[in-house]
Chains A and B, each alone.
Chain A
Amino acid sequence: MDKLGLDPTVVARARRLAERAGAPVVQLARSHTTVSVERAVLRLAGVSGADSDGIPWVNRLVDAVRADVGLGHGVAVPVFDALAREGLDDVTVLAQKAAAGSVRFGVPERSGPAKRAARRATTAGLKRVDRRRIERERLIARLGDAPRRPWIYLIVATGDIYEDIPQAQAAARAGADVIAVIRSTGQSLLDYVPEGATREGFAGTYATQENFRLMRSALDETSRELGRYVRLTNYASGLCMPEMAVMAGLERLDMMLNDSMYGILFRDINPIRTFVDQRFSRQIHARAGIIINTGEDNYLTTADAVEAAHTVTVSQLLNEYFAHEAGLADWQLGLGHAFEINPEVPDSFRMELAHALLARELFPDAPLKWMPPTKHMTGDVFRGNLLDGFFNLAGVLTGQGILLVGMMTEAVVTPWLSDRDIALQNVRYVLGGAGDLHEDFVPAPGGFIRSRAHHVLGEAVELLEKIVDDTLLNAIADGTFGIMKRPADRGKGLDGVAAQEPGYFNPVLPAEDQR
Chain B
Amino acid sequence: MSVVRPYGDTTGDGMVQVSFTLPLAHDKRAEGAALQLAGNMGLDPAMLVHARPMGEGYTFFVVYGRVTHLVDTGKVQVVERDYPLLGAKEINAVIKRRLRRRLSVVGACIGTDAHTVGIDAILNVKGIAGEKGLEYYRELAVTNMGAQVSVPELVETARAQKADAVLVSQVVTQRDAHLHNTRAMSAAFREALPAGRRPLLIVGGPRFDELMAAELGVDRIFGRGTTPRDVASYLVHALLGDRK
Q: Are A418 and B175 in contact (CB under 8 A)?
A: no
Please judge, given known A-B contacts A189-B112, A202-B112, A302-B120, whether A417 and B54 are in contact too, CB under 8 Å. Answer: yes
Residues 100-114 of B at the A interface (beta carbon under 8 Å): 111-114
* Bound CA span A501–B183, Å: 47
Q: Are A189 and B148 in contact (CB under 8 A)?
A: yes
Distance of B33 from chain A, by nearest CB (Å): 16
Indicate if B194 sits at the interface (CB-CB under 8 A): no
Q: Mark A395-434, 1 if CB is under 8 A from B, else 0.
A: 0000000000000000100101110011000000000000
Distance of A382 from chain B, by nearest CB (Å): 10
Q: Are A417 and B55 in contact (CB under 8 A)?
A: yes
Interface size on B, residues (CB 8 A): 27
Interface residues of A, dominant DSSP: loop
Return chain A residues, CB-CB under 8 Å to B58. Answer: 417
Q: Are A203 and B172 in contact (CB under 8 A)?
A: yes
Please judge, given known A-B contacts A418-B21, A483-B120, whether A174 and B55 are in contact too, CB under 8 Å. Answer: yes
Interface residues of B, dominant DSSP: loop
* Bound CA span A76–B183, Å: 46
Range of interface residues on chain A?
20 to 34
Please judge, given known A-B contacts A185-B112, A186-B112, A417-B58, whether A202 and B21 are in contact too, CB under 8 Å. Answer: no
Q: Are A302 and B116 in contact (CB under 8 A)?
A: yes
Indicate if B48 sits at the interface (CB-CB under 8 A): no
Return chain B residues, CB-CB under 8 Å to A277. Answer: none
Return chain A residues, CB-CB under 8 Å to B120. Answer: 302, 483
Return chain A residues, CB-CB under 8 Å to B112. Answer: 185-186, 189, 202
Distance of A194 from chain B, by nearest CB (Å): 15
Return chain B residues, CB-CB under 8 Å to A483. Answer: 120, 124
* Bound CA span A170–B57, Å: 11
* Bound CA span A267–B146, Å: 10
Return chain A residues, CB-CB under 8 Å to B126. Answer: 304
Residues 364-389 of A at the B interface (beta carbon under 8 Å): 375, 379
Indicate if B36 sits at the interface (CB-CB under 8 A): no
Indicate if B161 sits at the interface (CB-CB under 8 A): no
Q: Which of A202, A266, A375, A416 contacts B147 (CB 8 A)?
A: A266
Q: Are B174 and A417 in contact (CB under 8 A)?
A: no
Return chain B residues, CB-CB under 8 Å to A422. Answer: 60
Indicate if B211 sits at the interface (CB-CB under 8 A): no
Indicate if A48 sits at the interface (CB-CB under 8 A): no
* Bound CA span A304–B21, Å: 37
Residues 475-514 of A at the B interface (beta carbon under 8 Å): 483-484
Indicate if A515 sits at the interface (CB-CB under 8 A): no
* Bound CA span A186–B115, Å: 13
Please judge, given known A-B contacts A189-B148, A417-B54, whether A202 and B175 are in contact too, CB under 8 Å. Answer: yes
Q: Mark A135-161, 1 if CB is under 8 A from B, else 0.
A: 000000000000000000000000000
Distance of A448 from chain B, by nearest CB (Å): 26
Return chain A residues, CB-CB under 8 Å to B56. Answer: 170
Distance of A295 from chain B, by nearest CB (Å): 12
Residues 184-216 of A at the B interface (beta carbon under 8 Å): 185-186, 189, 202-203
Q: Are B60 and A421 in contact (CB under 8 A)?
A: yes
Distance of B63 from chain A, by nearest CB (Å): 13
Q: Mark A275-304, 1 if CB is under 8 A from B, else 0.
A: 000000000000000000000000001101
Return chain A residues, CB-CB under 8 Å to B54. Answer: 174, 417-418, 421
Q: Which of B60, B111, B114, B124 contacts A267 (CB 8 A)?
A: B114
* Bound CA span A450–B226, Å: 39
* Bound CA span A417–B20, Å: 10
Q: Are B117 and A301 in contact (CB under 8 A)?
A: yes
Q: Could you list which residues of chain A lie within 8 angstroms of chain B, going by C-beta atoms?
A: 170, 173-174, 185-186, 189, 202-203, 266-268, 301-302, 304, 375, 379, 411, 414, 416-418, 421-422, 483-484
Beyond A304-B126, A418-B19, list 7 extra A-B contacts (CB 8 Å).
Answer: A174-B54, A186-B112, A203-B174, A268-B148, A417-B54, A421-B55, A483-B120
15 contacting pairs across A/B (C-beta < 8 A)? A170-B55, A185-B113, A185-B172, A203-B174, A267-B114, A267-B148, A268-B146, A268-B147, A268-B148, A418-B60, A421-B52, A421-B54, A421-B60, A483-B120, A484-B146
Closest 5 A/B residue pairs (Cβ):
A186-B112, A203-B174, A170-B55, A185-B112, A418-B60
Q: Could you list which residues of chain B lie within 8 angstroms of chain A, going by C-beta atoms?
A: 19-21, 52, 54-56, 58, 60, 111-117, 120, 124, 126, 146-148, 172, 174-175, 177, 206
